[in-house]
Structure 1
Amino acid sequence: MNNQTEVQSVRKYLVIDGEKIKTDNYAPLYSPYSGEEIAQIAMADKAQTQRAIDAAYQARSVMAKMPAFRRAEILEKVVSLLTEKADQAAEIITRESAKPIMFSKAEVSRTIETYKFAAEEAKRIHGETIPFDAASGGIGRVGYTLREPIGVIGAITPFNFPMNLVAHKVGPAVAAGNTIVLKPASQTPLSALFIAELFEEAGLPPGALNVVTGPGSIVGEELVRNDRVSMITFTGSPEVGIGIRNRAGLKKTTLELGSNSALIIDKDADVDSIIDRCIMGAFSNQGQVCISLQRIYAHEEIYEDFTKKFTEAAKQLKVGDPLNPDTYISSMISKGEADRVMGWIEETNSRNADIATGGKIRNGVLEPTIITNAEPDLSVCRQEAFAPVVVVNKFNAMEEAVKQVNDSRFGLQAGIYTNNVRHALYAARELHVGGVIINDVPTYRVDHMPYGGVKESGTGREGIKYAIEEMTEMKLIVWNQN
Structure 2
Amino acid sequence: MDFETGSQLQVGKITAHIDGKTREAEHYDAIHDPYRGDVVGHAPVSTARDCDDALDAAARAKETMAAMPGYERAALLRSTADLLAARSEQIGYVMSRESGKALRDCMTEAQRSADTLRLCAEEAVRISGEHVPMDASAIGAGKIAMVMRFPVGVVAGITPFNGPVNLSAHKVGAALAAGNSIVLKPSPKAPLCVSMFAQAFIDAGAPAGSVNTLYGNAIAPQLVRDARVDFVSFTGSIPVGKLIRDSVGMKRVALELGGVGPTFVHGDADLEAAAKACARNSVMLAGQSCVSVQNVYVQKHVYERFVELVCKEMDTVRFGDPMDLSTEVGTLIDENAAIRVEKMIASAVDAGAHLTRGAPRRGAQLSGTILTGVNASMDVVCKEIFGPAMTIQPYDAIEPIFKAISDSPYGLQCGIYTNSLDLALSAIRKIRTGGVIVNGTSRWRSDQMPYGGVKDSGMGREGPKYAIRDMTEERLFVLN
Common fold: TM-score over 0.5: yes
Residue number in structure 1 paired with 2:46: 44
1:229-255 CA-to-partner distances (Å, cap 9, x unmatched) read: 111100011101101000100111110
Residue number in structure 2 paired with 1:459: 459
Residue number in structure 1 paired with 2:76: 74
- 1:285-434 to structure 2, matched below 5 A, reads 285-362=285-362, 364-406=364-406, 408-434=408-434
Shift of 1:404: 4.4
Is the 2:355–2:370 Cα contact (8 Å) retained in structure 1?
Answer: yes
Taking a change above 3 Å as real, the CA distance of residues 248 and 348 of structure 1, as seen in their structure-2 partners, is: same
How many Å separate the matches in 2 of 1:403 and 1:132?
43
Shift of 1:4: 6.5
1:347-398 CA-to-partner distances (Å, cap 9, x unmatched) read: 1222221010114213541111000010111110011111000000100122
How many Å separate the matches in 1 of 2:412 and 2:273?
25
Residue number in structure 2 paired with 1:252: 252
How many Å separate the matches in 2 of 1:404 and 1:308?
27
Is the 2:35–2:363 Cα contact (8 Å) retained in structure 1?
Answer: no
Residue number in structure 2 paired with 1:19: 21
How many Å separate the matches in 2 of 1:143 and 1:25?
55
Corresponding position: 1:147 with 2:146: no
Residue number in structure 2 paired with 1:235: 235
Could you state the TM-score of these two structures normalised by the residue count of structure 1? 0.96
AA aligned opposite 1:52: A
AA aligned opposite 1:160: N
SS in 1 for 2:239: helix
Could you state the TM-score of these two structures normalised by the residue count of structure 2? 0.97
SS in 1 for 2:49: helix
Residue number in structure 2 paired with 1:54: 56
How many Å separate the matches in 2 of 1:138 and 1:195?
50
Is the 1:286–1:330 Cα contact (8 Å) retained in structure 2?
Answer: yes
Is the 2:358–2:367 Cα contact (8 Å) retained in structure 1?
Answer: yes
AA aligned opposite 2:453: G
Is the 1:357–1:368 Cα contact (8 Å) retained in structure 2?
Answer: yes
How many Å separate the matches in 2 of 1:4 and 1:88?
9
Residue number in structure 2 paired with 1:440: 440
SS in 1 for 2:139: helix
Residue number in structure 1 paired with 2:197: 195
For residue 176 of structure 2, the aligned residue among 153, 174, 177 is 174
1:437-470 CA-to-partner distances (Å, cap 9, x unmatched) read: 0111111100111111111100111111010011
Is the 1:264–1:401 Cα contact (8 Å) retained in structure 2?
Answer: no
How many Å separate the matches in 2 of 1:349 and 1:281?
22
How many Å separate the matches in 2 of 1:351 and 1:246?
36
Shift of 1:13: 1.0
Residue number in structure 1 paired with 2:211: 209
How many Å separate the matches in 2 of 1:44 and 1:138?
53
AA aligned opposite 2:387: A
Shift of 1:275: 2.5
How many Å separate the matches in 2 of 1:93 and 1:27?
16
Shift of 1:9: 4.8
Residue number in structure 1 paired with 2:224: 224
Residue number in structure 2 paired with 1:280: 280
AA aligned opposite 1:268: D
Taking a change above 3 Å as real, the CA distance of residues 327 and 407 of structure 1, as seen in their structure-2 partners, is: farther
SS in 2 for 1:443: coil
Taking a change above 3 Å as real, the CA distance of residues 101 and 355 of structure 1, as seen in their structure-2 partners, is: same
Shift of 1:406: 3.6
AA aligned opposite 1:338: A
Is the 1:111–1:164 Cα contact (8 Å) retained in structure 2?
Answer: yes
Residue number in structure 1 paired with 2:139: 137
SS in 1 for 2:34: coil
SS in 1 for 2:301: coil
Shift of 1:94: 0.8
AA aligned opposite 1:327: T
AA aligned opposite 1:228: R
SS in 1 for 2:164: coil
Shift of 1:151: 0.5
How many Å separate the matches in 1 of 2:163 and 2:64?
30
For residue 163 of structure 1, the aligned residue among 162, 165, 173 is 165
AA aligned opposite 2:118: K
- Aligned residues: percent identity? 38
Shift of 1:139: 1.8
How many Å separate the matches in 2 of 1:362 and 1:26?
28
SS in 2 for 1:293: coil
Shift of 1:110: 1.9
Corresponding position: 1:123 with 2:137: no
AA aligned opposite 1:323: M
Residue number in structure 1 paired with 2:111: 109
How many Å separate the matches in 1 of 2:132 and 2:409?
40
391-400 or 269-278, which deviates more: 269-278
Shift of 1:405: 3.6
For residue 97 of structure 1, the aligned residue among 96, 99, 113 is 99
Shift of 1:279: 2.3
How many Å separate the matches in 1 of 2:346 and 2:194?
36
Shift of 1:309: 1.4
316-325 or 235-244, which deviates more: 316-325
How many Å separate the matches in 2 of 1:477 and 1:290?
40
AA aligned opposite 2:108: A
1:194-236 CA-to-partner distances (Å, cap 9, x unmatched) read: 1111111111101000011122xx3211111210111110001
Gaps of 5+ in 1: none
Is the 1:72–1:122 Cα contact (8 Å) retained in structure 2?
Answer: yes
